[in-house]
Chain A
Amino acid sequence: MSDSTDRSPPGTPLSDEAIQQGKVLTLEWPSSLRYAWDTGVAIGRFLAELKNGRIIGRTCHKCERVLVPPRMFCERCFRPTDGWRFVQDSGAVNTFSISHLRWDASRIEDPILVAVIEIDGASSGGFLHYLGEVKPEEIGIGMRVKAVWKPPEERTGSIRDILYFRPS
Chain B
Amino acid sequence: MPTKVAIVGVGHTTFRATSPGLSYKELMFEAATRAYADAGLDPRGEIDSFLTCSEDLAEGTSIFDEYVPDQIGGAERPVYTVGGDTIQGMATAYMQIASGIVGVVAVEAHSKASNLETPGALHAFALDPVFVRPLGFNAHALAGLEASMYLSSSGNSREQCAHVAAKNRRNALANPSAAHAAAVNPEDVLASPPAFEPLSDLDVSAPADGALVIVLATEERAKKLKRQPVWVRGIGWATVGGLTAADGASAAYARSAAEMAYRMAGIRDPRREIDFAEVDDTYSFKELQHLEALGLFGRGRAGPATAEGATARDGDLPVNVSGGSLGVGQLFEASGGQRVIEAVAQLRGEAGPRQLKKTKTGLAQSWRGVPTGTGAVVVLSRE
On whether A27 and B44 interact (CB within 8 A), knowing A32-B121, A36-B115, A36-B117, the answer reads no
Binds B, one of A75-83, A106-114, A123-131: A75-83
| Chain B residues touching A, majority SS | helix
Chain A hits for B130, CB < 8 A: 27
- Shortest CB–CB separation between residue A105 and chain B, in angstroms? 16
Contact of B20 among A34, A38, A77 (CB under 8 A): A38
Interface residues on chain B, number (Cβ under 8 Å): 35
Interface residues on chain A, number (Cβ under 8 Å): 24
Complex Cα–Cα for A91 and B44 (A): 31
Complex Cα–Cα for A109 and B57 (A): 33
Chain A hits for B71, CB < 8 A: 71, 73, 75
| Chain A residues touching B, majority SS | loop
Annotate A44-57 by CB proximity to B: 1 below 8 A, 0 otherwise. Answer: 10000000000000
With CB as the reference atom, state the residue of chain A lying closest to B29: A73
Contact of A33 among B20, B25, B57, B129 (CB under 8 A): B57
On whether A40 and B22 interact (CB within 8 A), knowing A33-B60, A77-B44, the answer reads yes
Quick check: is A39 within 8 A (CB to CB) of the other chain?
yes
- Shortest CB–CB separation between residue B32 and chain A, in angstroms? 8
Quick check: is B286 within 8 A (CB to CB) of the other chain?
no
With CB as the reference atom, state the residue of chain A lying closest to B133: A29
On whether A38 and B22 interact (CB within 8 A), knowing A33-B121, A33-B125, A78-B43, the answer reads yes
Complex Cα–Cα for A80 and B250 (A): 47
Quick check: is A143 within 8 A (CB to CB) of the other chain?
no
Annotate B23-49 by CB proximity to A: 1 below 8 A, 0 otherwise. Answer: 111100100110010000011100000
- Shortest CB–CB separation between residue B63 and chain A, in angstroms? 16
Contact of B42 among A35, A39, A76, A78 (CB under 8 A): A78
Complex Cα–Cα for A44 and B42 (A): 29
Chain B hits for A38, CB < 8 A: 19-24, 112, 114-115
Q: When the two chains form their complex, are residues B60 and A71 in contact, meaning their CB atoms are under 8 A apart?
A: no
- Shortest CB–CB separation between residue A100 and chain B, in angstroms? 23
With CB as the reference atom, state the residue of chain B lying closest to A34: B117
Chain B hits for A71, CB < 8 A: 25, 70-71
Quick check: is A103 within 8 A (CB to CB) of the other chain?
no
With CB as the reference atom, state the residue of chain B lying closest to A77: B44
Q: When the two chains form their complex, are residues A27 and B129 in contact, meaning their CB atoms are under 8 A apart?
A: yes
Complex Cα–Cα for A64 and B225 (A): 31
On whether A29 and B21 interact (CB within 8 A), knowing A72-B29, A78-B44, the answer reads no
With CB as the reference atom, state the residue of chain A lying closest to B22: A40
Complex Cα–Cα for A38 and B44 (A): 28
Q: When the two chains form their complex, are residues B117 and A35 in contact, meaning their CB atoms are under 8 A apart?
A: yes
Cβ < 8 Å to A, chain B residues 102-134: 112, 114-118, 121-122, 125, 129-130, 133-134
- Shortest CB–CB separation between residue B112 and chain A, in angstroms? 7
On whether A78 and B73 interact (CB within 8 A), knowing A33-B57, A35-B117, the answer reads yes
Chain B hits for A37, CB < 8 A: 23-24, 60, 112, 115
Quick check: is A14 within 8 A (CB to CB) of the other chain?
no
Quick check: is A42 within 8 A (CB to CB) of the other chain?
yes
With CB as the reference atom, state the residue of chain A lying closest to B71: A73
Q: Which residues of A contact B (CB under 8 A)?
A: 27, 29, 31-44, 71-73, 75-78, 80
Q: A38-B22, A73-B70, A78-B42 known; 15 other A-B pairs, CB under 8 Å?
A: A27-B130, A29-B133, A33-B125, A37-B23, A37-B112, A38-B19, A38-B21, A38-B114, A38-B115, A40-B21, A40-B24, A41-B23, A75-B70, A75-B73, A78-B73
